[in-house]
A = this chain, B = another copy of it.
């Protein structure tokens, strides 16, 4: 992790803090995704509800919606069992679960929660945050989200015109 870079995170601009990325050459930021709806899915690899429901749903969003309009970003927000969920384990987990969207590792320099998780006051994993095409946070959900509701929420944001500039 590049401590310097991560310490300069501006959440309004960047959306999240991450010390490392998988499935992405360039670290994605909210600013770099402007114009797209962004689905931020936060999880822990040892959280059973994330493995069974949350991550398959995130992968489904990634498959169903055109990447020109919707970007799925995963974030590994470890707040327990740190030794068991390091980047080496996460890399194998991503491979075994065939996750293909960009996945970052939340910055562990705050206590007890990693930095992005603390910033958004997330209550646990999985959590889902929806940002509109302008980068504004529009939905924040903890736990299982219904597929039909999520499909409708994403489409509603997709069809909003960009704000006047």
Q: Which residues of A contact B (CB under 8 A)?
A: 46-48, 51-52, 60-61, 64-65, 80-81, 83-85, 88-93, 95-97, 146-156, 158-159
Chain B residue numbers with a CB within 8 Å of A83 are 88-89, 92
The majority secondary structure among interface residues of chain A is helix
Across the two chains, which residue of chain B brings its CB closest to A157? B155
A48, A91, A96, A159: most-surrounded residue (chain B CB, <10 A): A96
Q: How many copies does the complex hold?
A: 4
Whether A48 contacts B155 in the complex (CB less than 8 A), given A147-B147, A148-B150, comes out as no
Chain B residue numbers with a CB within 8 Å of A88 are 83-84
Chain B residue numbers with a CB within 8 Å of A96 are 46-48, 81
> Can you name 21 A-B residue pairings with CB atoms under 8 Å?
A46-B92, A46-B97, A51-B51, A60-B148, A64-B146, A64-B149, A64-B152, A81-B92, A81-B96, A83-B88, A84-B88, A148-B148, A148-B151, A149-B151, A151-B151, A152-B152, A152-B154, A152-B155, A155-B156, A156-B159, A159-B159
